[in-house]
Structure 1
Amino acid sequence: MASASFRFLTLAILVIAGTLVFGNHGVSADCKTSIPSLISQCSKYVQVSGPEIPPSQGCCDVMKDLDIPCLCNLVTPEVEKLVSMEKVVFVARTCGLTLEPGMKCGSFTVPPA
């Protein structure tokens, strides 16, 4: 489903945006998502630095409730400097979300599984 695909990408966006810019909850309200929950549960799994690590159940639970289309619209070049979109795809797929190959989020294109 496209919704699940966008949810995973949204996670990456929220983690980056939250890590960088969020003390501001405007995006949280706009995208009907809890930025603090997303950051606390998932940020370590999608950071550019460090190895690819399977996400926790808590991270997967948060991701399943994200408004991915809304969050994907927030992916900017600045976000992509902080969040590894490859790791976002890995985390999303590990959490059981279906990501459509070719889907765009920022400048990133989701590869085939």
Structure 2
Amino acid sequence: MEMLNLRFIALAAVAVFGILFTSELDVVLGQAACQGDMQGLITQCEPYVMKGSLLPPTGSEGCCAAIKTLDIPCACQHVTKVVETVVDMGKVVKVVRSCGIPVPEGMKCGSYTVPPGSR
């Protein structure tokens, strides 16, 4: 039963992460869609950024390829509290940086602020 709950939470997180970047949400918000490979981002990066994941937040070749297509500032503007309940934003920053993309200190992503001295 506990494994079923964990699978449901993981599935819900992937769904929320996917919905976050769909054009339907943009219609509701009245905003343009963020550019990037959202399907790749979800399928390739999800294991590295979920809360409770034991994988090191270093991403993979597929995850980095998807991240490199993403408009990071745009995506950060669309991170909701719901997403933050299942996605560890500190891990997100580490994964993005491990892919060679700088994330400046003080940058806001949802309610998360990249702390000083984090590399």
Tell whether the structures are fold-level matches, with TM greater than 0.5.
yes
Between the aligned residues of both structures, percent identity stands at 43
Aligned length: 98
CA RMSD of aligned residues (A): 2.5
Q: Cα 1:101–1:52, aligned 2, differ >3 Å: closer, same or farther?
A: farther
Which ranges of 4 or more aligned residues in structure 1 deviate by more than 6 Å? none
2:102 and 2:17 map into 1 onto residues whose CA distance is: 28
1:17 and 1:65 map into 2 onto residues whose CA distance is: 21
Q: Cα 1:36–1:99, aligned 2, differ >3 Å: closer, same or farther?
A: same
1:37 and 1:85 map into 2 onto residues whose CA distance is: 18
Are 2:41 and 1:38 aligned? yes
Q: Cα 1:21–1:91, aligned 2, differ >3 Å: closer, same or farther?
A: closer
- Unpaired stretches in structure 2, ≥5 consecutive residues: 1-11, 27-31
TM value normalised by structure 2: 0.70
| SS of corresponding position for 2:102 | coil
CA contact (8 A) 1:31 1:71 kept: yes
Given residue 60 of structure 2, which amino acid in structure 1 is its aligned partner? S
TM value normalised by structure 1: 0.74
Q: Cα 1:107–1:74, aligned 2, differ >3 Å: closer, same or farther?
A: same
Partner deviation per Cα, 1:63-108 (whole Å, 9 max, x = no partner): 0110112211111111100110010011011111111111111111
Higher RCO by CA contacts (8 Å cutoff, separation 6 or greater): 1
